[in-house]
Structure 1
Amino acid sequence: MIGMMLVAVFGGYFLASAILFKYPTLLHKKKKLKFKPTHISHRGGAGENLENTITAFQHAIDVGTEMLELDCHITADGQVVVSHDNNLDRVCGQAIKVIETEYKALPPIKNCLGVQFKKDALCHSCSQDVKIPLLKDVFQAFPTMPINIDIKMDDDELISKVNELITEYNRENLCIWGSRMEKVKKKLRSVNSNVPLFYSFGGIMKLLLLFYSGLLPFFPIQESSMEIIMPSIVLNEENCPFELNKKQKLLVRIADKLLMRPSLFRHLERRGIQTYLWVLNEDEEFERAFRLGATGVMTDFPSKLKAFLDAHPEYRREEQI
């Protein structure tokens, strides 16, 4: 008797899970973003222009990018700047911290930078633009371009100032923001729930647990985008900036199997949640990402991704909503 009851309970659970997995809008309202980018320029296209500069962003837009990805820090005098690093040694050649320096005292960007996601690649400045820009400069220069904002530090003033700029420039529907830190992501949601969120690392781990347990279709999702590395890119020795031993390579392959699940991507898409894979810089990586069902690809080489999409129009997503 107990066995039959357990069979009925678990059978009902798995059936309901399967139905809701395929038809999640029976339980959840589908999210509707004002953008659906296929082509996303990582740091504005760090392989073609100095990263996170106005010149890089303009070039990416000129070649047809549909979203700019950038990073934010705050200076000692409360200015929100577009920079991936707080310590400016890599980018500017001076071991000073953005958070401890006034904006006017920030040094210029070096004329040549390495490309972090492409081994031995160097990006040389092709303009005189070596200034770390303010976030408001980017908003003013590109008022209609969707922007993906990565908050790099757990700093309440930074979060508050970024939100003020988003609202001042009426960009709540044209930005998506988040952090790799779950604590920061929660703060962002509490500050302004109208701005779409992307998953933190911890959030992605929870998402995978729900997915593999069959519970995901029953849970509401706050986030609007899952932005994850495609683990297989680090197995390419020509591109990986560090060497992996056999054990590490095995772990990467396991991670790739767990993360790169077309069925998960399809379920999220049915719920209006977009998937962006990063940072992809080769045609074979672009091809795999779109075959897996990714909404968009983040790249350091916007011209290369543009050429790939021109050659493969079947991977272009529907027009912006």
Structure 2
Amino acid sequence: MAEGLENTIGTFQHAVDLGTDMLELDVQLSQDGIVVVSHDNEIKRTTGADIKISDTKFADLPPLHTHQEVTFLNALPVCFPDATDRSFCRLRDVFEKFPAVVINIDIKNDDDELIAKVGELVREYNREDLTVVGSRLESVIRKVHQQHPDIPLFFSAKRVVQLVLLFYSGLLPFIPLKESCLEVVMPSIVWGERWADTVPTKYKVLARVVDFLLMSKVLIRHLDRRGIHTYLWVINNDADFERAFSLGAKGVMTDY
């Protein structure tokens, strides 16, 4: 989103034009049951309107601001005064516009209707081989897997913790895994330039511990051999790109 307004068809098209291999997006459910592409349910940050998507009909959603803050960018908020596409889009719109592009969907809420509709859309557009679905919430992952066992999943936060425990206990090779992708933050970005003066020392120490445990070449290689790809985020500078791929990541998620 450092090169365009987040979660718009125009910005997704720009990313595809630049050669991206996968689009990462988040979904919410509007008041009238539309699966909307948006990181936030409360959209004051992106629109200035103090409303929720879940309380608003899709047709009534306001346009996006032309200026937005990029959380993981080492810079001031970015501005796109000439942006022509300022509208929220539907997940259906993304599927129709990019039928051959791999799309990673993060379901933000444990909402049965949202979960069901995402699965239905994946099936409607025959995208089971081109879509990865998941959530930080294990309850969401379980429901997706129960309803649509053929849709690839990424690890929830709880499952990432379990993965690390299994790995360091030596049990991981003997445990079946339902997930197809490991998508985690690269903790080293927490003590980088962006948060050097804002993150308390105790959290930087915690990030270093997590980085030591999770950013393991052996773990990533083991997962890769089992057909589980690792993607790291949010990677926005050359040093982090180099480190991510040196660890064995198959890809990265970036604002550029």
In which range does the TM-score fall when normalised by the shorter chain? over 0.9
Pairing 1:217–2:173 present: yes
From 142, 157, 177, the equivalent of 2:113 is 157
What is the rounded CA distance, in whole Å, between the counterparts of 2:107 and 2:150 in structure 1?
Answer: 17
From 220, 228, 231, the equivalent of 1:273 is 228
Q: What does residue 67 of structure 1 align with?
A: 22
Pairing 1:230–2:186 present: yes
Structure with greater Cα Rg:
1
What is the rounded CA distance, in whole Å, between the counterparts of 1:246 and 1:158 in structure 2?
Answer: 38
Matched to 1:127, the amino acid is A
Number of matched residues? 255
Q: What does residue 49 of structure 2 align with?
A: 94
What is the rounded CA distance, in whole Å, between the counterparts of 1:158 and 1:208 in structure 2?
Answer: 30
Using the size of structure 2 for normalisation, the TM-score is 0.97
Q: What does residue 85 of structure 1 align with?
A: 40
Contact 2:66 2:83 in 1 (8 A): no
1:188-267 mapped onto 2 (5 Å cutoff)? 188-237=144-193, 239-240=194-195, 243-267=198-222
Note closer, same or farther for the CA distance 1:70–1:242 as it changes in structure 2 (3 Å cut): farther
Matched to 1:200, the amino acid is S
From 52, 56, 61, the equivalent of 2:11 is 56
Using the size of structure 1 for normalisation, the TM-score is 0.78
Pairing 1:185–2:141 present: yes
Deviation, 1:241, is 8.6
1:66-145 mapped onto 2 (5 Å cutoff)? 66-125=21-80, 126-145=82-101
Q: What does residue 308 of structure 1 align with?
A: none
Contact 2:25 2:38 in 1 (8 A): yes
Matched to 1:252, the amino acid is A
Deviation, 1:251, is 1.2
Matched to 2:154, the amino acid is F
Pairwise CA RMSD: 1.1
| Structure 2 gap segments, 5+ residues each | none
Q: Secondary structure at the match of 2:75?
A: coil
Note closer, same or farther for the CA distance 1:252–1:137 as it changes in structure 2 (3 Å cut): same
Measured against aligned partners, the alpha-carbon deviations of 1:260-296 in whole angstroms (never above 9, x if no partner) come to: 0000000000000000000010000000000011111
Matched to 2:190, the amino acid is V
What is the rounded CA distance, in whole Å, between the counterparts of 1:286 and 1:109 in structure 2?
Answer: 30
1:40-51 mapped onto 2 (5 Å cutoff)? 46-51=1-6
Larger relative contact order (CA 8 Å, sep ≥ 6): 1
Contact 1:147 1:175 in 2 (8 A): yes
Q: Secondary structure at the match of 1:171?
A: coil
Matched to 1:288, the amino acid is R
Q: What does residue 293 of structure 1 align with?
A: 248
Matched to 1:155, the amino acid is D
| Structure 1 gap segments, 5+ residues each | 1-45, 302-321
Percent identity of the aligned residues?
A: 52
